[in-house]
Structure 1
Amino acid sequence: MQPQALPSNAGQVFDWAVLRRLLSYVRPYRRVFIGLIFLTVATAVLGTLRPFLIQRLVDVNIEQGDMRGLNAQFALLLVLLVAHAGVSYLQTYYGGWLGQYIVRDIRTDLYQHLLGLKLSFFDRTPIGVLVTRNISDVETLSDVFSEGLAAMAGDILQILFIMAFMFWIDWRLTLVSLSVIPPLLFSTYVFKEKVKKSFQDVRNAVAKLNSFVQEHLTGMNVVQIFNNEEREFRKFEKINQEHTQANIRSVLYYSIYFPVAEVLAAIGVGLLVWYAAQGQIEGSISKGALIAFIMYNALFFRPIRQIADRFNTLQLGLVSTERLLKLLDNKDLVATTGTYAPEQLQGEVEFKKVWFAYNEPEWVLRDISFHVRPGQTIAFVGATGAGKTSIINLLSRFYDIQQGSICVDGRDLREYDLSQLRRQIGVVLQDVFLFAGSIRDNITLGNHSISDERIWEAADLVGARRFMERLPGALDYPVMERGATLSVGQRQLISFVRAMVYQPRVIVLDEATSSVDSETEELIQEAIEKLMKGRTSLVIAHRLSTIQKADKIIVLDKGEIKEAGTHEELLQLEGGYYAQLYRMQYLVNEQ
């Protein structure tokens, strides 16, 4: 479903534009929705008929001694009760059913939208906030349909039908019963506004709580390494206290409103009985009418009390909907308009006067130009922050450049079908991320077209087969979140296999051997030599021993190319950055 632009009046007390956007998700289930409307009307009618029939039973059948009519009225009441129970069941079930399917569709749209956003969006948005949007906020929407819209419509209809029957029976008793309505409506309005604000505070507190917990659980090793448990716990206590206080405020408003509503309802019943007793004495009000009005009073005040709660449920859902729509309307998407999708890349890569910044005008790359022919290996060297990793991110189109052009096989990168382009670029990063699941799942990432034979071929190629076969279950070995049960070297080898099963034409190694031991590094280096044959390779490495055979080495400093050449050529540059770095590493190794 294509989201429309959110109007400027979003976020008002009751935003009909947001509600219309939400109701657009009902379209695939419009038959169920229409049926739910009829069930709501039927529930309201059946729920208000009972006091009217009892009034007729008392005033007509009992007063006149009509036993046959009395039995018929009792039978009719039983049928009415069974019908009301059945219709109420269907209304509750299909209201919940509709809410859950709409929640499913919105969550699907939202997650699909998140998959298409640029990495820059995730760089500036806390993951905990996105988790709250995709889980808690979406779940709130189910109540809009099960406890909000349909239930509130039913309550309003029930009030209208009750008033109609009350005026039909006796207009004087009706006016007496309605005398407490103004203070009740005023207290309901105040309650609605106060609870709405507290609900918004609760949602904000939940987002902060999720963000804090997610971030600190992920970085728990840093917290413990620096003995920061006590300080982080105090921060958590503060956020948790804000969450608690927001909930307590909503509890306070409920605890004040419902007793006030009960008192007003009791006053209404008292006034009714006092006035009806006088009429009974004078003979102007029948016994059946008094009994019916007492029952109608109980039925009348219940939906009024509930409407405030329903309205706040609806508003809470609309607040969540507004946040979700803002996320769905975010246009920071990866451009996927390219259609060029060759079966196989040749592997030619060229950067032409490329300028790039994550946040303009803080340029990370400045006027970068280089050319890599198919099958060549080019290496990048430089201090942290020189722009090496940014070059790799741009080649995979994780980010788009501001100036210049990047070409693959002579075509601009933006002309390519993005999925086809990335499928032919194998990337192995320094910080390996493994998902909870099996070894097989982490290598194939759910691609069922990759057979076990191809996995083992790639594992043989990178020297990972030996350790993978030793794991209990081999490819079925359960990997914990982020690969916690595997060594750094093992995680790196798995990521290498993951890149190789797609048989890429371009290989990108972002310091792929910097975190492994010497033995594992030798295995990878041996595999790299085989893999680079016939493939274009872009290598980032701190260990210069791993890139000495590269066809070209580019030295970066503060986003600019300072030196370029082969290993031997760069060593001959007196006072050159590469020569100094090589001598420093050589001396360290000698020691």
Structure 2
Amino acid sequence: MRELNRKIPLKEYAGLLRSYLKPQRKSIIWLSVLLISGIIMQLINPQIIRYFIDTAKTQESTTPLVYAAVLFIVVSLVHQGLTVAAAYIGENVGWIATNKLRGDVAEHCMKLDMSFHKSHTSGAIIERVDGDINNLANFFSNFAVSLLSNLLLVAGMLVLLFREGWAVGLSMTGFIVFAIYAIQYIRRFAVPHWGNLRAMSSRFYGFLGEHLEGTEDTRANGATGFVMQRFHSLLREWLPLRVKAFLGWASMWITTLLVFAIGNAVAFAVTAYLWKLGSISLGTVYMIFYYSELMAKPIEQIRTQMEDLQKADASIVRVRELLQTQSAIRDGVGVPLPSGPLAVTFDDVSFGYDDDLTTLNHIHFHLQRGKVLGLLGRTGSGKTTLARMLLRFYDPRSGAIRLDGIDVRDTTLPELRSRVGFVTQNIEIFQGTVRDNLTFFQDDIDDQRIIAVLEGLGLGQWYQSLPKGLDTPLESNGGGLSAGEAQLISFARVFLSDPGLIILDEASSRLDPATEQKLEHAISRLLVGRTCIVIAHRLATIQRADEILILEEGRIIELGDRVRLAADTRSRYNQMLQVGMEEVLV
């Protein structure tokens, strides 16, 4: 919480505003013009009222009064129109700026390595990307301009009050100084509570998002009671923080009411004294009181803006903290990978998710271009970790990984991931059309090529059944698709990207035999002219492998030609063939 309570330097506020408001200079200028025009309208109306009252006492003709009344109405209507226009432009500016910031934060999160995403739940990240940035909407929309315009309004009223007499101007100046000091003093006690509240909100929504995603597993394993107990525990922890934050807001609101009451009392006292002396007219008395009432509005808005600022304080710190988080995976210098199948080399690679835990230990092997490697091992032996490192989801603690002699850390991440295809048993289907899910929202892939790939994978009949063809919408998480169809869609994605290295991570483990046979045909087509690493638990899937690599507790315990190992009665692979691979790998 210490980070959230730290005061943000003024230059950081200015830098944030400059970064996201600079592209909207014209809108900011128009907003400033409208607000300044509104200030002028507010300063004119009390003068019209004074003229009306004093004229009504001294003249019998009603014509000047009619003119004054009409002018008052016109000025009021113009002021209201200016207020509406300023509000519209201000809100538009705020949403454009926050959406730009939201996009920058979301893009930054997408670039962070897997260790970040493993340590932060999706709900917590969403709360930062959306919740924290929503708190900045008013800060961007009109904070600086509105704060300046309110200060100008107060300054304008003071100038006009000093024209009526030094006693009036001095007393109201003292009131304003006291009011701003009192509000700022109370604000110091409220800021930490808003920061703590935002942090607690992030924790709660992170927990909620995680368990909503895992509802099926939660129900199946009888963990509903625990989830609800934790849910209520977080709510009990949240409530006192919410109460403290509310009390901080209430203290500012009550202080403002007291300040307004004191201001009215000062205006009553000064005007009563001066009117009794005969130094001011009745119209001037009303005008001074009107200004004192009007002064409550900019002070109230300044208070509200300070409240918005205290919310923005915590959100800015949290957003800044997120943007300053650096990915452990740095982009390479841009060495291009060659076309065609890619050779794979692991040169004494060691890796662990934690400093005191080693998942892969001195892995060393070479897979030639166009060859297929069967990767076997028990659950937790490091198979999937090895595959993820080829995509640079993680970098080795020591050693090097090379594709065709090029260190994967020397090429750019987009280049690397366009040349390495990764197919898993858990297929993500996104909310969008069939085309979107096949091309990952790229619009430069020809429809005829997509259709040809679908037909080649045995999805031609399925494609013909789609009511809108490639424009048919798909539900998130694959609703409406069978496991086989979803798996074949994942293969179609790889075909369209045309990588030089394919990684199949137990891609057929959940399929029925008929669907798996169709998938085997798709795999056979996919492997033509490509290097492949197959992670599998079934013998049928591994039969096409040229070489076999067996991992155990992060170490290579067997590596060699599949046919040779199968014929060697002393090999581990031969043992799997004799007793059944599923039995050995349990």
Under a length normalisation based on structure 2, what TM-score does the superposition of the two structures give?
0.90
Paired residue for 1:15, among 9, 13, 20?
Answer: 9
Contact 1:209–1:239 (8 Å) recurs in 2: yes
**Structure-2 separation of matches of 1:388 and 1:43:** 68
Provide runs of 4+ in structure 1 moved above 6 Å.
Answer: 586-589
The aligned runs of 1:550-569 (5 Å cut-off) are 550-569=545-564
Paired residue for 2:39, among 29, 44, 53?
Answer: 44
Partner of 1:314: 309
- Compute the displacement of 1:190 (Å): 4.5
1:533-586 deviation digits (Å, cap 9, x = unpaired)? 332111111113321331110111122111112334334555644344333326
The verdict on how the C-alpha distance between 1:257 and 1:11 changes in structure 2, with shifts beyond 3 A counting, is closer
Partner of 2:425: 430
Q: Please report the RMSD computed on the Cα atoms of aligned residues, expressed in angstroms.
A: 3.0
- Compute the displacement of 1:74 (Å): 4.2
Paired residue for 1:95, among 90, 93, 101?
Answer: 90
1:387 pairs with 2:382: yes
The aligned runs of 1:167-566 (5 Å cut-off) are 167-176=162-171, 184-185=179-180, 187-332=182-327, 334-341=329-336, 344-470=339-465, 475-566=470-561
- Compute the displacement of 1:290 (Å): 0.9
**Structure-1 separation of matches of 2:549 and 2:570:** 16
- Compute the displacement of 1:42 (Å): 3.1
Amino acid at match of 2:363: I
**Structure-1 separation of matches of 2:285 and 2:197:** 45
- Compute the displacement of 1:216 (Å): 0.6
Contact 1:180–1:265 (8 Å) recurs in 2: no
- Compute the displacement of 1:264 (Å): 4.5
1:365-399 deviation digits (Å, cap 9, x = unpaired)? 22212111121111111112222112211212222
1:503-551 deviation digits (Å, cap 9, x = unpaired)? 3322211111111111222222233233323321111111133213311
Contact 1:354–1:404 (8 Å) recurs in 2: yes
**Structure-1 separation of matches of 2:251 and 2:307:** 16
1:259-284 deviation digits (Å, cap 9, x = unpaired)? 55335433543454355335434423
The verdict on how the C-alpha distance between 1:533 and 1:202 changes in structure 2, with shifts beyond 3 A counting, is same
Identity fraction in percent:
28
2:533 match: secondary structure: strand
Structure 2 unpaired stretches of 5+: none
1:414 match: secondary structure: coil
Contact 2:123–2:207 (8 Å) recurs in 1: yes
The verdict on how the C-alpha distance between 1:416 and 1:172 changes in structure 2, with shifts beyond 3 A counting, is closer
1:96 match: secondary structure: helix
Under a length normalisation based on structure 1, what TM-score does the superposition of the two structures give?
0.89
- Compute the displacement of 1:242 (Å): 4.2
**Structure-2 separation of matches of 1:478 and 1:35:** 42
1:213 match: secondary structure: helix
**Structure-1 separation of matches of 2:444 and 2:505:** 27
Paired residue for 2:139, among 139, 144, 148?
Answer: 144
- Compute the displacement of 1:228 (Å): 2.1
- Greater CA drift, 117-126 or 172-181: 172-181
- Compute the displacement of 1:502 (Å): 2.3
**Structure-2 separation of matches of 1:396 and 1:260:** 58
- Compute the displacement of 1:22 (Å): 0.9
- Compute the displacement of 1:214 (Å): 1.0
- Compute the displacement of 1:358 (Å): 2.7
- Compute the displacement of 1:162 (Å): 1.6
1:43-81 deviation digits (Å, cap 9, x = unpaired)? 333312322343344346743667665555445434433
Amino acid at match of 1:139: N
- Greater CA drift, 365-374 or 331-340: 331-340
The verdict on how the C-alpha distance between 1:158 and 1:388 changes in structure 2, with shifts beyond 3 A counting, is same
- Compute the displacement of 1:310 (Å): 0.8
The verdict on how the C-alpha distance between 1:279 and 1:453 changes in structure 2, with shifts beyond 3 A counting, is closer
**Structure-1 separation of matches of 2:266 and 2:495:** 83
- Compute the displacement of 1:474 (Å): 5.6
Aligned length: 582
Amino acid at match of 1:170: G
**Structure-2 separation of matches of 1:267 and 1:16:** 31
- Compute the displacement of 1:312 (Å): 1.8
Amino acid at match of 2:543: Q
The verdict on how the C-alpha distance between 1:304 and 1:531 changes in structure 2, with shifts beyond 3 A counting, is closer
Amino acid at match of 2:157: I
**Structure-2 separation of matches of 1:483 and 1:522:** 21
Contact 2:105–2:129 (8 Å) recurs in 1: yes
